[in-house]
């Protein structure tokens, strides 16, 4: 379901070309939720002419950029899942027959919803429950695949794939201002630090 990736990228304002993939849904101690909980429900303006709506059954995006309004509904499914672990929500999403990507979600005391994503593969190599399967880097305009992580200015990280399920401690380390992608505010607006 390619639309899931497209929706998450546009709705959550992710501009990076890098990806961290997982062969299993995350995290290890997570419980899959069949509905999106009440504290995550709402509607937010995510762009000048874009709206994101989280409903019990999934996510809807509305785009007013063209002559016709485009509404895309993405229900919780085998390619879009929500897990909860240790008070943290994790959206797992993928295209069919592809590995999973994750978005970490934490509700703040004021009701705002913070969205986090860490695209540094070094973080995940510290989790003994995860195993690096492959990494891809761009070198002089060519993408090269490796079995380990590379260092050096000539290597531009593109993606990494891990097997296993991360511990909640790794999940918690993703929640910091450096990894903050977007804030869905209680007033129905959204804010992305990357727009500054």
Does residue 15 surpass a pLDDT of 80?
A: no
Distance from chain centroid for Cα 148: 23
The C-alpha R_g of the chain, in whole angstroms, comes to 17
Question: What Cα–Cα distance (Å) separates residue 123 from each residue in 70, 83, 118, 148, 170?
Answer: 37, 20, 8, 14, 8
**Higher per-residue confidence, 23 vs 63:** 23
Q: Residue 168's pLDDT band (boundaries 50, 70, 90)?
A: very high
**Tens of pLDDT, residues 93-118:** 998 889 999 999 999 999 999 999 99
d(CA 185, CA 125): 33
DSSP run (H or E) holding 172 = helix 168-174
pTM of the model: 0.90
- For 149, which DSSP code? -
Does residue 196 surpass a pLDDT of 60?
A: no
């Amino acid at each position: 379901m390619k639309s899931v990736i497209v929706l998450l990228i546009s709705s959550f304002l992710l501009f990076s070309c890098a990806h961290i993939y997982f062969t299993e849904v995350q995290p290890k101690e997570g419980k899959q939720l069949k509905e999106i909980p009440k504290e995550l429900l709402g509607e937010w303006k995510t762009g000048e002419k874009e709206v994101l709506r989280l409903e019990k059954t999934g996510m809807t995006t509305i785009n007013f950029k063209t002559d016709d309004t485009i509404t895309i509904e993405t229900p919780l499914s085998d390619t879009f899942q929500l897990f909860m672990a240790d008070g943290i929500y994790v959206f797992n999403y993928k295209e069919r027959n592809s590995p999973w990507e994750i978005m970490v979600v934490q509700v703040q005391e004021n009701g705002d919803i913070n969205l986090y994503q860490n695209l540094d593969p070094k973080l995940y190599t510290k989790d003994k429950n995860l195993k690096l399967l492959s990494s891809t880097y761009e070198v002089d305009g060519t993408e090269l695949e490796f079995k380990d992580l590379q260092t050096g200015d000539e290597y531009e990280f593109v993606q990494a794939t891990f097997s296993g399920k991360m511990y909640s401690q790794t999940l918690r380390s993703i929640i910091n201002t450096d990894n903050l992608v977007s804030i869905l505010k209680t007033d129905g607006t959204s804010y992305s630090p990357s727009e500054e």
